Amino acid sequence: MTAQPLAGVRPTVAAFGSVDGELAVGGIPVSRLAERVGSTPFFAYDRELITGRVAQLRAALPDRVQLSYAVKANPMPAVVQHLATLVDSLDVASAREMRAALDTPLAATHVSFAGPGKTDAEITQAVAAGVTIEMESATEAARVVSAGERLGLRPRVAVRVNPDFQVKGSGMRMGGGPQQFGIDAEQVPALLADLAAADVDLLGYHVFAGSQNLNASIIAEAQRKTVDLVLALAERTPWPVRYLNLGGGFGIPYFDRDRPLELQAVGDNLADLVHARIDPHLPDARVVIELGRYLVGEAGVYVTRVVDRKVSRGRTYLVVDGGMHHQLAASGNFGQVIRRNYPVVVGNRMAEAPTETVTVVGCLCTPLDLLGDGVELPPADVGDLVVLFQAGAYGLTASPTAFLGHPEPVEVLV
């Protein structure tokens, strides 16, 4: 089936298209997809949208810049497998994510393991696998060295640097000032001295300044400062730098007033940096941008079914069979300061005009379980499918699924 364009809706919604007056996911009308899945609620990820997003990135970024997928955004094995055919490398943050990455055709040398608090067991598995360990502290560095000695292997490592600058405008700041992430830039020379006699393969540096940034000029500035910082560190590194992970932080528009990131502006700045700074000074470095939500966030929907419709003192409620236990972020409880609505539609009534204002709530017995506050929708009744967008990243695995004890939803890649 070929999806038809959808008019008059936000780009995130329009990207899915419609078939027979219904929202299409992977070209399949959502009510048919619900029959195929066999139960609601469920998450559906659109393969073509993920493929298209990677293609946009490839077109906008300079050839020398490689793409890494941050698995924690969506670790569903089928999604990870699909992305492994499209990107250059995978970034994992736990042993379980590492197993998902190692199950793909990508070589272990193209898997990196970041994140604070890596245990001895995780470090041992990572060294044995041959993935690149992004060391977040001096303690972790010592653990890596001893794991390598014990296994008789030379660990592949990079230093995650907590930069000496901060990035404004990030939804989540993960670099600059005091941080649990990375090793403070000014402590790196001492770490290098400690590692001088150790049998590790020090590949280079990783700087991740923040997440969910929609401002191209701020991302560009962070990348410039990151390159400056790594060039300064490279002068004090006794080996050629072979790995430069510039982080990512590309944001996606969750709310009505969010404007999409101007990707080409980021790409143009990177092209300048590669040409003027990286090519001449770091000729041997594999240059990487690592992205999570930008690759998958907009490709996913959370599909719920209306189980009740009621009017309380003039306000109309649609009660759906899903909720914040599956899609916490849509309820506004995943780090948001002010709750705003994620895009929401009645998936089986895309051809009908929105004529009423309703409150969409989940099935949990808490007022926190609010999915759409005063949203305009076509009249919906029991059995209709309410679809929430921006569910491809930090959805199911970032939600408290055990809360209230409802069954786990199915996930499909379509």
Ligand X SMILES: *Cc1c(COP(=O)(O)O)cnc(C)c1O
Binding residues for ligand X, rule: CB under 6 A, are 70, 72-73, 91, 93, 114, 208, 211-212, 248, 290-294, 393
Shortest distance, CB of residue 72 to ligand X, whole angstroms? 5
| Nearest residue to 83 via CA among 261, 251, 243, 291 | 291
Cα 235 vs. chain centroid, distance in angstroms? 32
Q: What kind and span of H or E run contains 191? A: helix 188-195
Shortest distance, CB of residue 230 to ligand X, whole angstroms? 15
365 labelled catalytic = yes
| Nearest residue to 255 via CA among 337, 174, 175 | 337
In the complex with ligand X, which residue's Cβ is closer, 51 or 366?
51
Residue 182 tokens, joined: 């990375």
In the complex with ligand X, which residue's Cβ is closer, 174 or 368?
174
90-116 per-residue burial string, b: 16 or more CB within 10 A, e: under 16: bbbbbbebbebbbebebeeebbbbbbe
What are the residues whose beta carbons fall under 8 Å from the beta carbon of 313, sequence distance 6 or more? none
| Residue nearest ligand X (C-beta atom) | 292
Shortest distance, CB of residue 398 to ligand X, whole angstroms? 10
Shortest distance, CB of residue 111 to ligand X, whole angstroms? 13
Catalytic residue among 311, 338, 365, 402: 365
- Bridge partner list, 133: 113, 157
115 Rama sector, left if φ>0, alpha if ψ -120 to 50, beta otherwise = left
In the complex with ligand X, which residue's Cβ is closer, 25 or 73?
73
Residue 15 tokens, joined: 């990207």
Neighbours of 214 (CB within 10 A): 20
CA dist., res. 322 & res. 59, Å (int):
38
Neighbours of 201 (CB within 10 A): 14
Shortest distance, CB of residue 211 to ligand X, whole angstroms? 3
Cα 80 vs. chain centroid, distance in angstroms? 12
Shortest distance, CB of residue 311 to ligand X, whole angstroms? 39
In the complex with ligand X, which residue's Cβ is closer, 22 or 91?
91
In the complex with ligand X, which residue's Cβ is closer, 114 or 274?
114
In the complex with ligand X, which residue's Cβ is closer, 52 or 280?
52
Q: What kind and span of H or E run contains 211? A: strand 210-211
Q: Write out the catalytic residue numbers.
A: 365
